[in-house]
Amino acid sequence: MRTYPVYKGLQKPLVYRGFKGKFIAYGISSLGLGLVLGGFGGALINMYFGGLLTLGVITGGLLYTFSKQKSGLHDKTRSGKIHIHKIYLRRGYGKIGV
C-alpha cells in the first residue's frame, strides 16, 4: 500500500498588519468604502467635507474591525436563555408499509 504526504497548511490564520483571516477583507472594505463615500461627498458638497468624510469612515471602519476581531475569528452569538423545542410527530410517522 502506497502512502502519499498530505499538506494541510500552516493551520494558522493569515495575518496582515494586525488583521487576521476574514478581518483583512473587512479592513480593505472599510478603506474602499471610505474612499468612495469621500469621493461622492467631495463631488456633491465640498472638497473639505469629502476629505473629512473619508477620514471618518476609514477610521470608524478600522476601529470597528479591530473591536470585532477581539471577539475571535469564529465569534458566535451566545444566548443565556433556555430554549424548549416542541416535538410535533404524527402518529405512525416513520412506519413503512402501513
pLDDT at residue 72 tops 80: no
Dist. CA 73–CA 14, nearest whole Å: 11
pLDDT value, residue 12:
76
Whether the full predicted model's pTM is greater than 0.85, yes or no, is no
pLDDT at residue 94 tops 60: no
**Average of pLDDT values for 77-97?**
70
Residue 64 near residue 30, CB atoms below 8 Å? yes
Residue 69 near residue 96, CB atoms below 8 Å? no
Place of cell 416542541: 86
Region of residue 38 (phi > 0: left; psi between -120 and 50: alpha; otherwise: beta): alpha
Does residue 58 fall inside a structural domain?
A: yes
Does residue 82 fall inside a structural domain?
A: no
DSSP 25-39: HHHHHHHHHHHHHHH
Does residue 89 fall inside a structural domain?
A: no
Range of the domain at 32: 20-69
pLDDT value, residue 85:
78
Q: For residue range 6-56, what is the model confidence (pLDDT) as tens digits?
A: 777 767 778 888 888 888 899 999 999 999 999 999 999 999 999 999 999
Does residue 57 fall inside a structural domain?
A: yes
Does residue 32 fall inside a structural domain?
A: yes
pLDDT value, residue 39:
95
Does residue 63 fall inside a structural domain?
A: yes
pLDDT value, residue 42:
94
Does residue 97 fall inside a structural domain?
A: no
- Number of domains present in the structure of the chain: 1
Does residue 12 fall inside a structural domain?
A: no
